[in-house]
């Protein structure tokens, strides 16, 4: 039976990821749009003396002021591309929060560092940089508000079609984690922390990508979809 792709990322990143999966797969598959979180901007005051900006997601870049030549320290390549488009001079860690902290500590930039971040975040980036002797503050510029699971996903969990769910954060995992399943569930987790949210759940597949970025998530999701597709489909 045709597998169904479950997208839990908020728009527009969720829609873009679904398109990238379908393009790499080379054919259309059913998609259920089930964003786990709604991104809600928070009013904030951008400090005039901030010359070094830390970004850990493209959505923060969208809500930040224009770079105007400021330096951006970015967790991954997708975030770096978004920052470059907004006129930041970018450095990409091409990894996770640990890689980003390591990159910044190796370079030890001059000037005030500011992490423009969501209200719910992981990695303690500002605290770790401050402990290492750099001046770094966190400014929350958006909240991530949980959304109800849509009826289409509830119905799909009780069907026969396999469900393939790429999951990008532990908070996005919670909605799926709390459902009951008749349908086979195949989880593609961006990190061990995300995979841990599904421990104890009788998932048919629980995979973790070795590289925490959208490209590797896409490739692993495509591989799972192909493995579930009959040769004559």
The predicted-structure confidence for 66-114, as pLDDT tens digits, reads as follows: 999 999 999 999 899 999 999 999 999 998 999 999 999 999 999 999 9
Q: How confident is the model at residue 12 (pLDDT cuts 50, 70, 90)?
A: confident
Q: Is 89 in the same domain as 51?
A: yes
Q: Which of 144, 164, 180 is the last residue of a domain?
A: 144
CATH classification of the domain holding 202: 3.40.50.10090
* Confidence band for 212, pLDDT divided at 50, 70 and 90: confident
Chain-centre distance for alpha carbon 67: 22
Q: Work out the average pLDDT over 161-166.
A: 98
Same domain? For 31 and 62 the reply is no
> Same domain for 136 and 49?
yes
Residue 22 lies in a domain: yes
Residue 231: per-residue pLDDT: 58
pLDDT category at 211 given cuts 50, 70, 90 is confident
| Residue 232, domain member (yes or no) | no
Q: Is the pLDDT of residue 233 over 80?
A: no
Write 194-201 long-range contacts (CB < 8 A, 24+): 194/167, 194/168, 194/169, 194/170, 196/170, 197/167, 197/170, 197/173, 198/173, 201/177
pLDDT tens digits along 125-160: 999 999 999 999 999 999 999 999 999 999 999 999
Q: 43 and 134 share a domain? A: yes
Same domain, 76 and 13: no
Question: What range defines the domain where residue 125 resides?
Answer: 39-144
Number of domains within the chain = 2
Residues 109 and 46 in one domain: yes
64 shares its domain with 11 = no
Q: What percent of the chain has pLDDT over 90?
A: 85
Look at residue 31 and tell me whether its pLDDT is greater than 80.
Answer: yes
């Amino acid at each position: 039976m045709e597998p169904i792709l479950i997208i839990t990322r908020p728009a527009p990143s969720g829609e873009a990821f679904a398109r990238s999966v379908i393009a790499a797969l080379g054919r259309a598959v059913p998609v259920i749009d089930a964003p786990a979180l709604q991104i809600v901007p928070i009013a904030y005051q951008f400090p005039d003396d901030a010359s070094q900006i830390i970004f850990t997601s493209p959505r923060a870049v969208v809500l930040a002021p224009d770079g105007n030549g400021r330096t951006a320290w970015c967790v991954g390549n997708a975030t770096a591309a978004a920052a470059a488009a907004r006129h930041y001079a970018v450095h990409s860690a091409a990894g996770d929060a640990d890689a980003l902290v390591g990159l910044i500590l190796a370079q030890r930039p001059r000037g005030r560092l500011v992490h423009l971040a969501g209200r719910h975040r992981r990695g303690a980036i500002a605290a770790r940089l401050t402990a290492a002797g750099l001046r770094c503050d966190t400014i929350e510029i958006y909240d991530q508000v949980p959304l109800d699971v849509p009826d289409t996903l509830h119905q799909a969990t009780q069907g026969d079609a396999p469900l393939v769910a790429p999951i990008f954060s532990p908070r996005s995992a919670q909605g799926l984690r709390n459902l009951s399943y008749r349908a086979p569930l195949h989880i593609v987790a961006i990190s061990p922390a995300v995979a841990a949210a599904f421990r104890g759940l009788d998932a048919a597949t629980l995979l973790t990508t070795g590289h925490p970025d959208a490209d590797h998530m896409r490739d692993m999701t495509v591989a799972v979809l192909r493995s579930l597709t009959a040769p004559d489909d």
